[in-house]
Chains A and B, each alone.
Chain A
């Protein structure tokens, strides 16, 4: 006869055995754990994550767990009385447990038993599979220079901050000072880029002394600052795949080679030349990456230069605030889009033809005849745009004549359509050809400046450069914005220019602005 043990009110049995209810709970938990393990094996097997050996071992372990759990469940819990009203004989409960055990064994067998217990078996192996990742790299070529590759960075992170400068312009004068560079951005990798972005870089410098992982850092030793750092600015130091933010604990002036930071432990080693970005920059004209300094020499021998003058303060980067700036794209098929500058969609006067306003001058490519009216001006490849209706003034010596553009002309065009007019002089290639309407428009523009670009388009406000499909039209739904190397669309061409407005004041004499541009692609 099976005599139930006496169950004590405190939950322990009279024989000092382990309490019955916690033991039952533990057993059921064990069973649940086994079920969970089985489920994980199902998921793992289905996803192919397990090798056969691992799968078999997991199956065996799960089976063991189930076995232990089931064995324990099959035992009547000591001291557990029958429930009142429960007429189920113990043999029925026993049968249920047996059936449950059989079901579990079946499940386990379904998942892994075939490999473990089949007598017949067969197997094939596909050896030597290989997987290789693609590449996403970018080329950056200025004019006809050498292509600068993103992977050529000293910071070893596919982020090259040292590509050629776009513009090096000296001795600019109001109303005439201008320059333009042709920039070719290429996807030199094997993977399409779904995104291409243009942005203003953060003010930056580089480490001139290594930071060692685990060291307590209270200051950063850097190359001379070109932009001031304010207390509280966040300085991001990066090298390779590591980066860490430091917070400036005190200001540092332009030219400083050390920046005090709030004490923190370095999380990685950052060698000399690691990149240091002031991610608090570009918040205002005073903190733009574009920075002004006084010139310390002149390209004209003996001429005055910035540091000799007392009326050209550099507070708030006045030249950066005055210099007009544009980014004009021209596709391989001659389609145009103005991404920034007067004429862009964000400017006060968007252009329906996709033209940025440029300070356009030209040179005649042949001498004009005076015998009959002409309807176009033959010019050497234009370095700027002309809008329909613009006044085109030719001047040679004391001779001058104004033509009116009858249609738009674009960068690289070799003629300017004009309303029919007979030249009043046989103008030669020595004549100056000037789009005076364009100059007037630019002289009245105080918006599209380098400073405005920096504050309006920092990394967080970067411009997405959708593919240009027609003049002033982009395909914003395109899934690829810079195709992989050598596919159609793997290269895009931009013309980046600046202009010093005629209204520039004396206070802008003898100043030098430095500024960069960031080009970024994503997979």
Chain B
């Protein structure tokens, strides 16, 4: 009987504990419910709205040009390799040596060049420079004179801008700024040393505008006073046109 009583007391204590736990659970549930009824609306019932502007579109233009030597085909600036890009070093030569077209003192050779801006942006600057000028023997002369046509008293050079008829002179850009060019002593040598890179271009003014063309005539000759040392000698030079927006 005593064991039974103790057992009953213990069971009673367990029940009391269980009941308290249940009360706590129920009370907690009530608190959660009450809080929910107060706070849920505020936390999740906000209005909001949004607008987005359709994608703006901004596009860059292009600045490319081509050169046409004589009646040849156009050579495009963007026809070169992708790096550095927009540089084409494979355009036609202005003058090509041949036995039938040898230079003689005082006899000029000229070539006509058209520079066309085939991009969409006008050029603010057009320039010209000569990265290199090196002498070479023609190989045709039985006894080359050993002189240097790229040096002082060597070949003479001019840069004449013309109208679109490629005849009417507009501006002589080198050696002296005037309307019509004439050769001057040591013209090639001076040009090569003064305008050797893109930082030292011969400034040809602004333009051409997009889709516009400018025309030039390049003249070169052996000076009338050329010495025999220039016999059988050739000048090999690069001439680079540079355009900037």
A and B held together in a complex: yes
Question: A residues within 8 Å of B by Cβ?
Answer: 7, 9, 21, 24-25, 28-29, 32, 36, 39-40, 43, 47, 49, 80-81, 83-84, 134-140, 142, 148-151, 158-177, 179, 181, 183, 185, 189, 191, 201, 226, 295, 298-306, 308-313, 319, 323, 498, 500, 504, 506-523
Which residues of chain B are within 8 angstroms of A159 by Cβ–Cβ distance? 49-52
B85-A512 in contact (CB<8A): no
Interface residues of B in 60-117 (CB under 8 A from A): 60-64, 78, 81-86
A509 and B86 in contact, given A25-B18, A304-B62, A519-B50 (Cβ under 8 angstroms)? yes
How far apart are A185's CB and chain B's nearest CB, in angstroms? 8
How far apart are A494's CB and chain B's nearest CB, in angstroms? 11
Question: B residues within 8 Å of A by Cβ?
Answer: 1-2, 4-5, 7-9, 11, 15, 18-19, 22-23, 26, 30, 33-34, 37, 46-64, 78, 81-86, 118-121, 210-211, 245
A519-B51 in contact (CB<8A): yes
Which residues of chain A are within 8 angstroms of B33 by Cβ–Cβ distance? 40, 43
Which residues of chain B are within 8 angstroms of A24 by Cβ–Cβ distance? 15
Which residues of chain B are within 8 angstroms of A173 by Cβ–Cβ distance? 60-61, 63, 121, 245
Cα distance A295–B121 in the bound complex, in angstroms = 14
How far apart are A117's CB and chain B's nearest CB, in angstroms? 27
Cα distance A137–B49 in the bound complex, in angstroms = 6
B47-A136 in contact (CB<8A): yes
A508-B60 in contact (CB<8A): yes
Which residues of chain A are within 8 angstroms of B121 by Cβ–Cβ distance? 171, 173
A302-B18 in contact (CB<8A): no
B58-A81 in contact (CB<8A): no
Which residues of chain A are within 8 angstroms of B18 by Cβ–Cβ distance? 25
How far apart are B116's CB and chain A's nearest CB, in angstroms? 10
Which residues of chain B are within 8 angstroms of A298 by Cβ–Cβ distance? 61-62, 120
B53-A304 in contact (CB<8A): no
Cα distance A331–B13 in the bound complex, in angstroms = 73
Which residues of chain A are within 8 angstroms of B4 by Cβ–Cβ distance? 7, 9, 81
Q: A7-B8, A311-B82 are in contact. List 17 more A-B contacts (CB 8 A).
A: A40-B30, A84-B5, A140-B51, A148-B51, A158-B50, A159-B52, A169-B56, A170-B57, A177-B60, A303-B211, A312-B85, A507-B85, A508-B60, A511-B59, A512-B58, A516-B54, A520-B48
Cα distance A24–B11 in the bound complex, in angstroms = 11
Which residues of chain A are within 8 angstroms of B7 by Cβ–Cβ distance? 9
Offer 23 A-B interface pairs, CB within 8 angstroms, sorted by A.
A21-B15, A80-B8, A83-B8, A138-B50, A150-B49, A150-B51, A162-B54, A171-B121, A172-B59, A185-B51, A191-B47, A298-B62, A300-B210, A302-B211, A303-B119, A310-B81, A509-B86, A510-B61, A513-B59, A517-B56, A519-B52, A522-B47, A522-B48
A183-B57 in contact (CB<8A): no
How far apart are B138's CB and chain A's nearest CB, in angstroms? 38
Which residues of chain A are within 8 angstroms of B23 by Cβ–Cβ distance? 32
How far apart are A11's CB and chain B's nearest CB, in angstroms? 8
A150-B53 in contact (CB<8A): no
A179 and B58 in contact, given A32-B22, A310-B78 (Cβ under 8 angstroms)? yes
A518-B50 in contact (CB<8A): yes
Cα distance A308–B23 in the bound complex, in angstroms = 80
A172-B58 in contact (CB<8A): yes
The 4 closest A-B pairs by CB, nearest first: A311-B85, A512-B59, A303-B120, A171-B61
- Closest-by-CB residue of A relative to B16 is A28
B60-A319 in contact (CB<8A): yes
A81 and B5 in contact, given A310-B78, A311-B86, A509-B60 (Cβ under 8 angstroms)? yes
How far apart are A182's CB and chain B's nearest CB, in angstroms? 12
A164-B48 in contact (CB<8A): no
Which residues of chain A are within 8 angstroms of B26 by Cβ–Cβ distance? 32, 36
- Closest-by-CB residue of B relative to A21 is B11
Which residues of chain A are within 8 angstroms of B48 by Cβ–Cβ distance? 136, 158, 520-523
How far apart are B45's CB and chain A's nearest CB, in angstroms? 9
- Closest-by-CB residue of A relative to B18 is A25
A518-B210 in contact (CB<8A): no
A169-B58 in contact (CB<8A): yes
How far apart are B7's CB and chain A's nearest CB, in angstroms? 8
Cα distance A160–B57 in the bound complex, in angstroms = 19
- Closest-by-CB residue of B relative to A9 is B4
- Closest-by-CB residue of A relative to B38 is A47
Q: Which of A177, A301, A517 contacts B52 (CB 8 A)?
A: A517
Which residues of chain B are within 8 angstroms of A83 by Cβ–Cβ distance? 5, 8-9
How far apart are A282's CB and chain B's nearest CB, in angstroms? 14
